[in-house]
Amino acid sequence: MEGVVLSEISNRIKQYRLQNNLTIQELADLSHVSKGMVSQIENGRSIPSLPVLINIVDSLGIPLSVFFNDIQQKEELVIVGKKDTYESFEKEGTAGFSYLRFLTKTLKASTIDIVLLTLEPENYRDKVTTDAFEYKYIISGSCEYHIGDHIYSLEAGDSLFFDGRIQHVPVNKSNIPCTMLIIYFFEVK
């Protein structure tokens, strides 16, 4: 399932459960799954099998057509991630490992190019385009990202995902260098 679609399904299950004044345990009992499974699904940490998803939706008393109405992959052209909104999660059997998810995005088959960019202060250039989707993670410093007619202010720990076919340019207006990790996703044609 696409990340955005999975997130929407998880949010809807929780929304309908709360509207029905059901606890996680009550929904688990009604749908014949464990309390832990319902919790993981609601928090986007587990992808339910189709039979489990149908049982949960049925247990909520919502027709499938109503539950899935308007759920579709919405193509975001620009996704800004602020460090305080990243999702932390744990994998079973990985004690001592702390994971932090910045971005989940499924694209068509692509070639990935990963680079590190240091943008010196007051260094300007004209807007450019690339034939790739781009993910930027600010490691240190800060910058403004000009994309189309919009300006996004980014600081260390923030991230940005956008369609590089839109004219764009980073601008460092500070007096210290800005270092960012860049991942380019080029479609295979």
pLDDT in tens, 114-173: 788 888 887 777 888 888 888 999 999 999 999 999 999 999 999 999 999 999 988 889
Q: pTM of this prediction?
A: 0.51
Element (H, E) at 168: strand 168-171
pLDDT band with cut points at 50, 70 and 90 for residue 1: very low
Give the Cβ contact number of residue 48 at 10 Å: 22
* Bridge partner list, 116: 181
Domains, the chain, in order of start with CATH, read 3-67 (1.10.260.40), 78-187 (2.60.120.10)
DSSP string computed for 53-104: HHHHHHHTT--HHHHTTT------SEEEE-GGGPEEE--TT-TT--EEE---
Is the CA virtual torsion 152, 180, 166, 144 positive or negative?
positive
pLDDT in tens, 52-102: 888 899 999 988 888 877 765 555 567 777 777 777 766 565 555 555 666
In the chain, % of residues over pLDDT 70: 80
Calpha distance 184→164 (Å, rounded):
9
